[in-house]
Chain A
Amino acid sequence: MTRIAEAFKNGKAFIPFVTCGDPDLETTARIIREMAANGADLIELGIPFSDPTAEGPVIQEANLRALSGGVTTDDIFEMVASIRTDITVPMVFMTYANVVYSYGIERFMQRSAEVGMAGLILPDVPFEEKEEFAPAAREAGMDLISLIAPTSRDRIRTIAGQAEGFVYCVSSLGVTGVRTEITTDIGAMVALVREANPEIPCAIGFGISTPEQAAAMAEHADGVIVGSAIVRLIGQYGRDAVAPVGEYVRRMKEAVRNL
């Protein structure tokens, strides 16, 4: 069993996201601890990128705040290593192809594994390009997470068949960000994944912000991912965001735990 699989053992999983270095790495480390203490099953750590093309305005601004503060990929590795001494919850990185490529794919995967990361999400690396990254990830023991989208249709079977860790089901068209309504037939997407790969957990992300939405989405899947709603709290409270984020994570986990 991979460490990611453990995240799906406590009822439906709640997977929060945070942009590392927003507003600084010390705050990020405190936020991660608080997320873990409040029931996060898996934590997505965003490594900021100057031009995050899959993100809406909220996470774009977080990337900008983090980079303006001077955070680098190496600083983030060090921060993760420092919290790994007491944090056991599985964690995955979320970043863009160029961040990994310019660091050196093998070097990035090795370093990630060394500091205790379980996997990696690259939203600008589709199925057709994953072999450039997958061998080094495999070698390091990192899961390269696959995404499926409402437009994937006949591609779902192929993608799910080779998926590792979990399948990231993108709930809606467009970029990340809070939505008042999610209209995609998530149940049908998840059913296609399960047909192709009965073992792989499915987590749904993009647009989810309220406990009600989380519960509705979790009905169809094994977990939900929330990014923008958390990043918005961090944007609002800055260094004081630790408590509000912890409280938010607790409420969201409660909403999905016993479904």
Chain B
Amino acid sequence: MSNSSGRFGIHGSQYIPETLMNAVLELETAYNTFKNDPDFREELSRLFNEYAGRPSRLYFAKKMTLDLGGAKIYLKREDLNHTGAHKINNVLGQALLAKKMGKTRLIAETGAGQHGVATATAAALLGMECVVYMGRVDMERQALNVYRMRLLGSEVRAVDSGTGTLKDAVSETFREWTNRIDDTHYCLGSVMGPHPFPTIVRDFQAVISSEIREQMLAVEGRLPDVVMACVGGGSNAIGSFYHFINDPAVRLIGCEAAGRGINTNETAATISTGSLGIFHGMKSYFCQDSYGQIAPVYSISAGLDYPGIGPEHAMLHDQGRAEYVPVTDEEAVQAFEYLSRMEGIIPAIESAHAVAHAIKIAPAMDPDRIIVITISGRGDKDCAAIARYRGEDIRE
């Protein structure tokens, strides 16, 4: 979908320091070589299936469907992947690519810790060195994932600059990459950053929609009416949307983190509250002030707590091909609790944003309509934080 300079409509491209230009150009060349290489594809496919546990299940949520009394609801179970989230799809692809390029070291940013854990996992598996950058604030709210990364043999470096959250971790990982390029690949965790990252990450995550399509045709004999997913940078959402973009009858809905509400300053809903800008290597929509200073954003979900959105989503929004809706902390927490009780599935608080929107729209839809919600990750990591949100102080 992107043109040769990595534009998605007016979005995307490569706004990065000269020091990194040859690195991204080499990455693009290598990716274009390996993506069509049968050995690479076979090796990745084997890792997906035998290591990560793909294909992930498309599960008919019968109780939820009956309870809401409207559209049939299917859950795409990315939470069942090894390491508990969709992040592993991208990471296995990039780590394998980096290895083929002769890199011996991976660096990555992480917000909730899911991408950091996935990168640490791939590094362990492929015998690579790994350093993960994580905001100090996020390290505190996701202490378990910090431990997991260290257990997997990675170094976790605290980021104190700025707001000490995901955007600062991204900035710091870019800084580290300009410092050490020869042996190091920046394993970016979402469909963002400079070209070719939004394309590479999307291609590795597109396995989600490719499977949904096949599974839905097998079970229902037709395509779904709605595919929805949560959006921070937007990798699980673009992965869920990608193979439906050319089917205009399939509604695509991205659920953004509204935090305490889009009329407050404590939000991370980029499409609802942001404006066009250039940041972290890409042109897209960002939460910012009128002088282009990036806004501190807030969400209960560390994984959606990012002031921008991937450039392909920005284009799908401009085209009206995908809809982007805000979901508040409270709605997401209610959905987190709802899915746990209703289906015995504890979703990541990120994924719960998508569940929350399905709860809003499903009852008004005819029973012969079909919604697919991507459950991007599992919610074990969030239990302590949600308990605290509900006023209960539990210790892990």
Residues of A within 8 A of B (CB): 49-51, 53-54, 56-57, 60, 64, 67, 72-74, 96-103, 123-129, 147-153, 155, 159, 170, 173-175
Contact = CB atoms under 8 A, between A and B. Distances in A.
Contacts of A126: 14-18, 21
Pairs of residues from A and B, 10 with the lowest C-beta to C-beta distance, nearest first: A102-B292, A174-B179, A149-B19, A98-B292, A97-B278, A50-B293, A50-B294, A149-B18, A147-B18, A98-B278
Contact of B292 (A101, A127, A153): A101
Contacts of B324: none
Range, interface on chain B: 35 or more
B52 to A, nearest CB: 32
Contacts of B290: 102
B334 interface: no
Given A50-B162, A173-B179, A153 B22 contact: yes
B171 interface: yes
B105 to A, nearest CB: 14
21 contacts: A50-B294, A51-B167, A51-B171, A51-B294, A53-B171, A53-B175, A96-B278, A98-B279, A99-B292, A101-B278, A102-B277, A102-B291, A126-B15, A126-B18, A126-B21, A128-B5, A128-B13, A129-B15, A149-B19, A155-B18, A174-B19
A73 to B, nearest CB: 5
B280 interface: yes
Contacts of B281: 124
Given A98-B277, A128-B5, A73 B178 contact: no
A228 B391 CA distance: 46
Contacts of B275: 102
Contacts of B175: 53-54, 56, 174-175
Most A CB within 10 A of own CB, among B5, B13, B276, B291:
B291
Nearest to A206: B19
Contact of B279 (A51, A54, A173): A51
Given A51-B171, A174-B179, A152 B21 contact: yes
Nearest to B281: A124
A128 B383 CA distance: 46
B288 interface: yes
A189 to B, nearest CB: 12
B293 A60 contact: no
B18 to A, nearest CB: 5
A124 B293 contact: no
B75 to A, nearest CB: 36
B17 A149 contact: yes
A60 B23 CA distance: 24
Contacts of A56: 175
Contact of A129 (B13, B161, B277): B13
A60 B161 contact: yes
Contact of A127 (B18, B178, B277, B293): B18
Nearest to B6: A128
Contact of B178 (A51, A97, A173): A173
Interface in B329-368: none
A258 B325 CA distance: 64
Nearest to B180: A173
Contacts of B277: 98, 101-102
Nearest to B181: A151
Nearest to B162: A51
